[in-house]
Amino acid sequence: MRTSPRAIYSLDYLRAITRKNPGPRHEAEPKNSALGYVRPGRSYRPGSRRNAPIRVSRVSVAPYDRLGRGYSRVRQPDPRIAAQIEAALGSARTVLNVGAGTGSYEPGGREVTAVEPSAEMIGQRPPESAPVVQASAEELPFADRSFDASLAVLTVHHWANLAAGLAEMRRVSRERIVIVTFDPEALAELWIASDYFPEILSLKRRSEATSSELAGLLAGATIEPIPVPRECTDLFFAALWGRPEKLFDAEVVRPMWVWQSISEEARRGGRERLRADLESGAWERRYGHLRALPSLDVGLRLVSVPCAQPESEG
């Protein structure tokens, strides 16, 4: 039988992390005692469902319960993007991964705790991945300054309240916040949006969570581009910049929020135009040069924010 180290927390540890002000500061340290599935109002059953998530706060409707089916099959973390995230996390030993999904980009060699609202996404987390708490960014069930760093990758545009989620990340972080997001202006120059699926440019959620929007809400933020490799293993929408054929793969497009957010008519029309251009060679003539590039800036951005030390700590 496969056993997993995740979701094995001591009851004391859970009591500490699930209260915002637990008195003496706890160490965010998993202990090696068995703990079962914890729900508000339910009793704790030692040893039961060791791999189940710890559910401690109200979770808003989780769109990824529907959208997330098959996510981990096509959204494998890309090692080059992962390396840039690792570098941004610096020397942080304890990391909270918010909107953690199926566990992509959870840095190795550090003590990671995941927060994810969707049961579907949690169910796809590998057994060896970090312990996960089923909760939302807007209401993180941890004491102030519980983690060295908090991380949020390709999730902020989904949050019901961006400012509240960012304030929560700041509250629970001692040293640094690292966020990966998309800037849609860059997408406007990419053939996928400009020539075939222009509707994606008007998706409001995305335009509200740009790197400059985040920097406006998080004082001291720096922004750096993340070049997306041509053979990026994480098949998000813009990662197909040099692989138009993948837009016809149902498994690839099914978990894409961008794809599912535009109308069926827009999807069908764009795909018909793209198919015709691929068959006639028109796409190749206009954009075939992209197939030779190793990577491209398609608007992926890393936002990094140092957290101020409280005055009492000098």
Ligand X SMILES: C[S@@+](CC[C@H](N)C(=O)[O-])C[C@H]1O[C@@H](n2cnc3c(N)ncnc32)[C@H](O)[C@@H]1O
In the complex, which residues of this chain contact ligand X (CB under 6 A)?
60, 62, 64, 75, 98-101, 104-105, 116-118, 121, 136-138, 153-155, 158-160
Residue number with CB closer to ligand X (114 or 274): 114
Taking CB atoms, the residue at the shortest distance from ligand X is: 101
| Smallest distance, ligand X to C-beta of residue 134, A | 10
Residue number with CB closer to ligand X (80 or 273): 80
Residue with tokens 């929408």, as numbered in its chain: 237
Residue number with CB closer to ligand X (28 or 98): 98
| Smallest distance, ligand X to C-beta of residue 311, A | 30
Residue number with CB closer to ligand X (160 or 163): 160
Residue number with CB closer to ligand X (112 or 274): 112
Angstrom distance (rounded) from CA 236 to CA 192: 12
| Smallest distance, ligand X to C-beta of residue 217, A | 15
| Smallest distance, ligand X to C-beta of residue 71, A | 7
**Neighbour tally for 22: CB within 10 Å:** 16
The answer to whether the CB of 26 falls within 8 A of the CB of 143 is yes
Q: For residues 162-190, b (16+ Cβ closer than 10 Å) or e, as one string?
A: beebbebbbbbbbbbbbbbbbbbebbeeb
Angstrom distance (rounded) from CA 141 to CA 143: 7
| Smallest distance, ligand X to C-beta of residue 215, A | 20
Tokens of 229: 């490799």
Angstrom distance (rounded) from CA 138 to CA 226: 26
Residue (of 281, 292, 301, 184) closest to 237 by Cα position: 184
